[in-house]
Amino acid sequence: MDAFILLFTLAIMLAIGVPVAYAVGISAIIGAWYIDIPLEALMIQLTSGVNKFSLLAIPFFILAGAIMAEGGIARRLVNFAYIFVGFIRGGLSLVNIVASTFFGAISGSSVADTASIGSVMIPEMDKKGYPRDFAAAVTASGSVQAILTPPSHNSVIYSLATGGTVSIAALFIAGVLPGLLMSLTLMATCVAFAHKRGYPKGERVPFRQALKIFTDTLWGLMTVVIIMGGILSGIFTATESAAIACLWAFFVTMFIYKDYKWSELPKLMYRTVKTVTIVMILIGFAAAFGAIMTYMQLPARITEFFTSISDNKYVILMCINIMLLLIGTLMDMAPLILILTPVLLPVVVALGVDPVHFGMIMLVNLGIGLITPPVGSVLFVASAVSKQRIEQVVKGMLPFYGILFLILMLVTYVPALSLFLPKLFGVM
């Protein structure tokens, strides 16, 4: 009954439109009251939830991504990607995905990826004769890999939700192969569509112009080298790399590219602080909510429920995938990671699934939720940027849903995709 009160309250709060963070907090308070836990104990859990050094990575990565996104890096990455794939039939759709791959490795955000790359690529694809819904679908689906590859904010949140038992560095490196596989598979799909529908080819970029584009883009791409190179070499931690990446992004944007006005910086800082505040409030309330779930022994009950369904690891993983896909259509990614990780992680660990591997499974699942109606934040951004109705974008997305589901199955049932690189670099 106690678990029912907790979850029913959360469902009611969400149904009547209470913001997710506050819905989680109110549910935790009511749950604590029902099982007679002092509110002081709840506040201790809340404050300890945000009092973690590793959380500093989130504001720094968000700020670095915002600076680069508004400082002209998106346009430069599009030009850079055009050098490699622009001349192929359907090349602009490939440029879209390659640029998203690079940008995702700088911003770590699918929403920022869709907004920045989409604002450049969707009008350009429309001008060259690509259907606008197809352009929006390519942009949205291509941005999903941003939540897998470093510096993914959601990997940091998952690490926090595991109680710090999974390192951020391991998650960052684990996401590289699944992210690249996703990009390559989407590119192959776009090539197939291009030949079937007769999309145009582009022109090859002359060598001198390509060299100039590469030199110009290299400054921004160094952000990726700083993040990954520093972590893999052991020079600094993931949190320290976030701070250094932020300083580098500021230097490149304001002193090298000079596309961003100094007068706009206060507005950028305000938007970043606003975003970080929302995330931190959510993390604090989720920590309290997770503590109440533990007091109610909800994780143990869920584990018992899943193991009663089957003793086959693959069957249970499929059940979890289906559940995550369904819930991901109704709630945003960060709160789901914070709420569901403490519940599901004991289940999969009991089955012998590595926590890093499960992190990738969860990220791919909930990443698909970002582009799935009715509550897909990336889908809404793609619709706004492309000036298409949600229904039109979803129609264009249908083939890509199938491709992303295939990637999910590969990530789920081929653990080496997630675990090979972390083991190779000795971070797990």
Note down pLDDT in tens along the chain; length 428 residues: 777 888 888 888 888 888 888 888 899 899 888 888 888 888 888 888 788 877 888 888 888 888 887 777 888 988 999 999 988 998 999 999 999 999 888 888 888 889 889 888 999 898 888 999 999 999 999 999 999 988 888 999 999 899 888 998 899 999 999 999 999 999 999 999 999 988 888 888 898 999 999 998 988 888 888 888 888 777 888 888 888 888 998 898 888 888 888 888 888 889 888 888 888 888 888 888 888 888 888 877 787 888 788 888 899 999 999 999 988 887 888 888 988 898 899 889 988 999 999 999 999 999 999 998 877 888 888 998 898 888 899 999 999 999 999 999 999 999 999 999 999 988 77
Both structure tokens of 111: 């929403």
* pTM tops 0.85, yes or no: yes
425 CB-near residues (< 8 Å, 6+ apart): 173, 232
Q: Tell me how far apart the 2 most distant CA atoms of the chain are, in Å.
A: 72
Domain of 24, in residue numbers: 2-424
Angstrom CA distances, 197 to 68, 90, 183, 187, 203, stand at 35, 9, 21, 15, 19
* Neighbouring C-beta atoms of residue 15, cutoff 10 Å: 9
pLDDT of residue 260: 82
SS3 112: helix
204 DSSP assignment: P
Number of independent structural domains in the chain: 1
Cβ atoms of 156 and 54 within 8 Å: the answer is: yes
Both structure tokens of 320: 């979890």
* Neighbouring C-beta atoms of residue 377, cutoff 10 Å: 15
33 CB-near residues (< 8 Å, 6+ apart): 39
> One-letter amino acid identity for 121?
M
Match 């670095």 to its residue by tokens: 64
